[in-house]
Amino acid sequence: MTLTESLPILVIIIPLISAIIIPLIGRIDKSIAFAFVISANFLSFIISISLLNTVMETGRISYWLGGWEPPWGIEYVVDYLSGFVLVIVSFIAFIISVYAKKSVEMEVEGEKILPFYSIYMLLVTGFMGMIITGDIFNLYVFIEISALAGYALIAIGKKRAALIASYNYLVLGTIGATFILLGIGYLYMATGTLNMADLRERLPMLYDSKVVLTAFAFITVGLSLKLALFPFHIWLPNVYNHAPSVVSALMAATSAKVIAYVLVRIMFSVFTMKFDLEVVPVTKILLFLSVIAIIAGSVLAIAQTNIKRMLAYSSIGQIGYIVLGIAISNQLSMTGSLIHLLNHALMKGTLFLVVGAVVYKTGMEDISSLKGMGKKMPFTMAAFTIGALSMIGVPLTVGFVSKWYLALGALKAGMWFLVFIILVSSLLNAVYFWRVIEGIYFHQKPKVRSQKSTTKDSIESLKPEIQNQDDAPVGMLIPTLILAGLCIVFGIAAFIPVSVVTPIVNMLLEV
């Protein structure tokens, strides 16, 4: 077997092996370990790109694990959809690993830095595995690998509230995962197979079966819990708020995207359009929930004073957008939804990286602490502004593109009120982001500090007021600016992601 044929497994093997090697290298020299993390992530990013490229040229790639022929063996599948999501996730993981060094040194205790990177790579392994696997039980295993790594990463920081956040996430996440496991059991009971492609062939004749309906219900509810779709969102704000900034950024930018991808896989690849529309009114339920998520997320975000928490609630709204497109399920809305996977990863990544830089410089994460930062950290704040404008959906940014497609999809489906919902939510977004942007550029830093520093060792904040330029270190600034730049690039050159997404939508909806 040549190297090119082994690329699908290498995407998983590289982060997995490096998770084991990092602590060993770290014993020799920590900086080598850090370089190793970056290069491992870069390598898997390059492999993802080459996989997507191969798929574009030759079509679906199937890798048989251990040489066992599917449906008996485990199959790894790269098609347009998984290739696309692989590139997004590996790119974000790479960018954030470049950014991580200083932020992690500040927010994580010294002896935990090496384990931090090790678990970081495990989290990436879990995400990559969830995307690439073509076996539904293997999917469960990877969901749990990423979830366990996630719990540990959230709790690794210095904040003690993170422990409770992580614990609650663990309990809810386990309920979700066990539901998925149960659903998989029901599917196996009905069909006797675990391979997704095989399930797709066998399931249509069993659509009347109550066993299949139960399986679908359990899997969808379990995934919604993991996705933090509206009524299941309670764990998310605390997690994003209290986790170390790097972890918040990684999870906000990729975790929900990967789960949304799995939901799309289950709904359109394992089951078919016909099942989603005719047998179970699942799209109607999801539509209802996503509309509530969009509005509630935005309204709750307005009420927040902590910037990470505000972004977390905004994430709940954005997850609503992704699910909304899936729920309308016509060609345009699906395009909007899938592009939003990329777009939201870029914008939320930018915003959380900026917040990480602010926490690094000032040790504070209140919205008021951003006042007057426009002069102090001009480049970082420029990135924040671009991210915020994208979230609002200003034309020429990525946020506009996905909202445009979602609105077009809603119109095509004859659901006028959804356009209204998208508009209202954009206005609400404008309210809570403008409040921050106004503070950044048009307010002076308050002379008397009302807030105390939020971390023990933030000596910065105790120094007398300085209005001189004091931007984030280059290592943090460049990744942030790259993501912010991509928000603009893909906003103007929207045809690039659209050209990738169109064949995916055609494949999913069988047009």
Query: Which residues of this protein are in contact with another protein, per CB under 8 A?
Result: 137, 140-141, 144, 148, 151-152, 155, 158-161, 163-164, 166-167, 170-171, 174-175, 177-178, 181-182, 185, 188-189, 194, 306, 452-456
Q: In the complex, what is the shortest distance from the CB of residue 452 to another protein, in angstroms, rounded to a whole number? A: 5
> Under a CB-based contact definition with an 8 Å cutoff, are residues 158 and 107 in contact?
yes
Shortest distance in whole angstroms from residue 470 CB to another protein: 22
CB of 238 to another protein, least distance (A): 10
Among residues 62 and 455, whose Cβ is nearest to another protein? Answer: 455
Of the pair 210, 274, the CB lying nearest another protein is at 210
Q: How far is the CB of 170 from another protein (least distance, A)?
A: 5
Q: Is 393 left (phi over 0), alpha (psi -120 to 50) or beta?
A: left
Number of Cβ within a 10 Å radius of residue 195: 23
Nearer to another protein, 185 or 473 (CB): 185
Task: Give the amino acid at 44.
Answer: S
Q: How many other CB atoms are there within 10 angstroms of residue 9's CB atom?
A: 16
For residues 368 and 453, which CB has a smaller minimum distance to another protein in the complex? 453
Single-letter code of the amino acid located at 185: G
User: Contacts for 429-433 with beta carbons within 8 Å, 24 or more apart?
Assistant: 429/298, 429/301, 429/314, 429/317, 429/391, 429/392, 429/393, 430/392, 431/302, 432/298, 432/301, 432/302, 432/304, 432/310, 432/314, 433/388, 433/389, 433/391, 433/392
Query: Phi first, then psi: what are they for 337, rounded to 5°?
Result: -65, -45
Nearest residue to 322 via CA among 422, 392, 176, 217: 422
Q: Which is nearer to another protein, 231 or 475 (CB)?
A: 231
Token representation of residue 497: 């992601």
Report whether 454 contacts 369 (CB < 8 A): no
CB 495 within 8 A of CB 332: no
To another protein, the closest distance from the beta carbon of 172 in angstroms equals 9
Nearer to another protein among residue 248 and residue 329 (C-beta): 248
Nearer to another protein, 64 or 137 (CB): 137
Q: Maximum Cα–Cα distance for the chain, whole Å?
A: 73
- Those residues whose C-beta lies under 8 Å from the C-beta of residue 282, and which sit 6 or more positions away, are 216, 220, 267, 276
Nearer Cβ to another protein (36/64): 64
For residues 149 and 258, which CB has a smaller minimum distance to another protein in the complex? 149
Query: ω before 237 within 30° of 0 (cis)?
Result: no
Amino acid at 467: Q
The CA R_g of the chain, rounded to the nearest whole Å, is: 22
DSSP type of residue 195:
B
CB of 335 to another protein, least distance (A): 36
Closest CB to another protein among residues 148, 342 = 148
Contact 373, 467 (CB under 8 A): no
Angle subtended by helix axes 113-132 and 7-28, to nearest 10: 180
